[in-house]
């Protein structure tokens, strides 16, 4: 195999995937490759006012994938690239999580200093007890079995989980469970997360697929937002931050 020819073919594709250009998957047989090539070549041929550049890429893609040696080399490079991309995404997810945690700790320390330097706030906090809940009701699509361990792992991205209970409760077509966090900040983070779109939060722990089944996490509380705002001076530092996080969802 002429490696220079292979590299030249790859260069002419300008980063495009030959499988995508021919509209086939990686497991396609040589018969399907030929069939797709002939169909696309007829449609995009310059003599029929087709796109000359696309037609050229269709030809190059066919040359790559119809040659066993070229195809094998391309598949190997594609596998390596996918592994590198996955590793990069996992590294980025870990870094993002660390940065979020660091920022939260920094904001917490600033708030603690500010509130502790206010004599009236310290006095009120010592004499009154007004705490926000640190548990949420989690809902998910029951496509696969969720147990205590899996739920605890999924929710740990928001902070320490103390306990999972009432697993396999029902709410319409969804299953539910109660998740008790170590503090109200974690509960607030879990309740304000947008579960409609699976983020990279779970990539680093290999639970992206399971997380895609999550639908909501609602703080279990009878305290209204207005009451929380009214009692702001009675909140502990942790509760104050949790209330601030929860307020993001109201806007």
Reported as a single tens digit per residue, the pLDDT across 207-216 is 989 999 999 9
Q: How does the average pLDDT of the chain come out, rounded?
A: 79
Q: Which domains are delineated in the chain?
A: 3-66 (1.10.287.110), 95-248 (3.30.70.330)
* 162 has a pLDDT exceeding 80: yes
* 141 has a pLDDT exceeding 70: yes
Residues 6+ apart with CB under 8 A from 134: 180, 181, 182, 183, 184, 186, 187
CB 243 within 8 A of CB 232: yes
Long-range contacts (CB closer than 8 Å, 24 or more residues apart) made by 190-193: 190/136, 190/138, 190/155, 190/158, 190/217, 191/136, 191/217, 191/218, 191/219, 191/246, 191/249, 192/245, 192/246, 192/248, 192/249, 193/158, 193/217
From CA 200, how far away is CA 207, in angstroms rounded? Answer: 10
* 183 has a pLDDT exceeding 70: yes
In this structure, the strands spanning 161-171 and 135-140 are: unpaired
Distance of alpha carbon 247 from its chain centroid, rounded?
22
* 21 has a pLDDT exceeding 70: yes
The predicted pLDDT at position 219 comes to: 85
The predicted pLDDT at position 1 comes to: 45
Joined together, the tokens standing for residue 7 give 């590299």
Q: Which of the pair, 217 or 240, is modelled with greater confidence? A: 217
Joined together, the tokens standing for residue 228 give 């929380």
Mean pLDDT of 239-248: 54
Joined together, the tokens standing for residue 3 give 């490696």
Joined together, the tokens standing for residue 36 give 């797709």
The predicted pLDDT at position 122 comes to: 46
From CA 71, how far away is CA 204, in angstroms rounded? Answer: 31
CB 124 within 8 A of CB 234: yes
CB 110 within 8 A of CB 54: no
Give the phi and the psi of residue 167 in degrees, each rounded to 5: -65, 145
């Amino acid at each position: 195999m002429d490696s220079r020819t292979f590299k030249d073919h790859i260069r002419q594709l300008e980063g495009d995937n030959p499988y995508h250009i021919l509209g086939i998957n990686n497991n396609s047989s040589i018969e399907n490759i030929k069939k797709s090539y002939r169909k696309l070549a007829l449609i995009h041929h310059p003599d029929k006012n087709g796109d000359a550049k696309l037609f050229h890429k269709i030809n190059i893609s066919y040359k790559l994938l119809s040659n066993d040696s070229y195809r094998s080399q391309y598949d190997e490079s594609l596998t390596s690239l996918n592994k590198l991309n996955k590793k990069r995404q996992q590294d980025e997810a870990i870094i993002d999580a660390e940065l979020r945690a660091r920022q939260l700790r920094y904001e917490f320390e600033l708030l603690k200093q500010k509130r502790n330097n206010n004599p009236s706030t310290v006095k009120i906090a010592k004499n009154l007890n007004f705490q926000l809940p640190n548990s949420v009701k989690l809902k998910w699509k029951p496509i696969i079995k969720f147990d205590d361990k899996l739920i605890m792992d999924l929710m740990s991205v928001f902070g320490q989980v103390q306990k999972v209970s009432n697993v396999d409760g029902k709410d319409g077509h969804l299953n539910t469970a109660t998740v008790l966090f170590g503090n109200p900040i974690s509960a607030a983070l879990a309740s304000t997360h947008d579960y409609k779109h699976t983020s990279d939060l779970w990539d680093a722990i290999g639970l992206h697929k399971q997380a895609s089944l999550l639908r909501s996490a609602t703080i279990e509380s009878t305290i209204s937002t207005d009451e929380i705002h009214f009692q702001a001076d009675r909140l502990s530092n942790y509760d104050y931050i949790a209330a601030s996080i929860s307020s993001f969802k109201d806007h």
